[in-house]
Amino acid sequence: MTSSFYPPHRTLMGPGPSDVSARVLSALARPTIGHLDPLFVDLMDQIKELLQYAFQTSNELTLPISAPGSAGMEACFVNLVSPGDTVIVCQNGVFGGRMKENVERCGATAIMVEDSWGEPVSIDKVSTAFDQHPEASILAFVHAETSTGVRSDAAALCALAAARGALSIVDTVTSLGGIELLVDAWGADAVYSGSQKCLSCIPGISPVTFSPRAVERIRNRKHKVQSWFLDMQLIMGYWGGDSKRAYHHTAPVNDLYALHEALLMLREEGLEAAHLRHRRNHEALVAGLEAMGLAMVVAPEYRLPQLNLVAVPAGVDDAAVRGALLKEFDLEIGAGLGALAGKTWRIGLMGFASNERNVLYCLNALEAVMAAQGAVFAAGKAIPAARAVFES
């Protein structure tokens, strides 16, 4: 007989969701009010302001899509792409491939710029793609690739798109709150993210922001947006600055309580402090992993502090280690994806989960599990190496 579900208390150090704080969970569970309640409309205004801060933008059209990051991605594509358009899509991991799917389902052509998984997007290749396809009206790329832990140069890519008269669509699902992200300064046009990574909110919500140029293109569309649910012209009627909100869909009221609280925590800490914290915990983790004899896959200059791609040592059974971490330590780390499956782990240090306790806990657990499996490595060195970073 099915009964109430009481989850264990995991430590979430995979590619997301990340640990959600008790403060956010508590906000989540506050009494539900109506989605047109005047107090809820006030809350929506606050969420918009907090998102503008997190994205570092003054874009008027900044709001949370009522669905996960992949719907946020789709919202950017279906509103900006029309049938017959040409879109340059950069792929250096899983999510570039998903962008291609989105472009094609809009009846447009995707020009793929491919880089190896584990490498950043090549600016030169993108520049060449624009030379070969001057008709391209959009450049789409991933700022922080969740599948590989690689950061690409979003500022340079947005500038390149602007110089070619194209709009930029930028995936910041894993970057928002974890590393520098300057939507206005970089001139990014359509930007989407997720609630469950460095914001450490529950999964299910996708913050987005659109520049005035992007809004203009949406307003001038000749083809209706193929999705009614994600049609920004309709959503603007509910989330717009007007005090008379038009009903579009029922907002996920409690999820937005949680998002509000998570964004508030980010603002209280401050973006710079949050980025520094992510950087420091990453450095400690890497020091510990390397002291243990494990190797990082991504070159230091492109590494995301919030998502660490680690090579599974020869002879070690990837799935057995992850299974033991989950079973014996209630610790989730991520598997590799695609070509990296079985060969890499993805260790997340995102948002609330990016803290000293988690770094030490993870190193300790990995040491214990690998020792139990008879893997040869340098024992007893990881924790001191990580501590040295924290104490420096």
In the bound state with a copy of itself, the residue whose beta carbon lies nearer, of 7 and 315, is 7
Closest approach of Cβ 374 to a copy of itself, in Å? 25
Of the residues 257, 278, 285, 307, which one makes contact with a copy of itself according to CB under 8 A: 257
Kindly identify the residues of this chain, within the stretch 42-71, that bind a copy of itself according to CB under 8 A: 43, 46, 49-50, 66-71
Of the residues 60, 101, 283, 318, which one makes contact with a copy of itself according to CB under 8 A: 101
Q: How many residues bind a copy of itself (CB under 8 A)?
A: 77
Binding to a copy of itself by residue 225, rule CB under 8 A? yes
One-letter amino acid for residue 22 of the chain: A
In the bound state with a copy of itself, the residue whose beta carbon lies nearer, of 66 and 344, is 66
Closest approach of Cβ 57 to a copy of itself, in Å? 17
In the bound state with a copy of itself, the residue whose beta carbon lies nearer, of 203 and 313, is 203
Closest approach of Cβ 250 to a copy of itself, in Å? 5
Closest approach of Cβ 11 to a copy of itself, in Å? 10
Residues 314, 298: Cα–Cα separation, whole Å:
18
Binding to a copy of itself by residue 171, rule CB under 8 A? no
Kindly identify the residues of this chain, within the stretch 315-354, that bind a copy of itself according to CB under 8 A: 326, 332, 337
Closest approach of Cβ 37 to a copy of itself, in Å? 7
Kindly identify the residues of this chain, within the stretch 10-39, that bind a copy of itself according to CB under 8 A: 10, 12, 14, 16-17, 19-20, 25-35, 37-39
In the bound state with a copy of itself, the residue whose beta carbon lies nearer, of 163 and 341, is 341
Closest approach of Cβ 89 to a copy of itself, in Å? 13
Sign of CA dihedral 92, 157, 209, 52: positive
Closest approach of Cβ 107 to a copy of itself, in Å? 9
Range in contact with a copy of itself (rule: CB under 8 A) among 118-126, 182-190, 209-217, 246-254: 246-254
In the bound state with a copy of itself, the residue whose beta carbon lies nearer, of 122 and 174, is 174
- Token representation of residue 187: 């001139």
Instruction: Choose among 384, 385, 348, 386: nearest CA to 11.
Output: 348
Binding pattern for the stretch 183-202 against a copy of itself, x by CB under 8 A and - elsewhere:
-----------x-x-----x
Range in contact with a copy of itself (rule: CB under 8 A) among 120-128, 184-192, 253-261, 290-298: 253-261
Closest approach of Cβ 253 to a copy of itself, in Å? 6
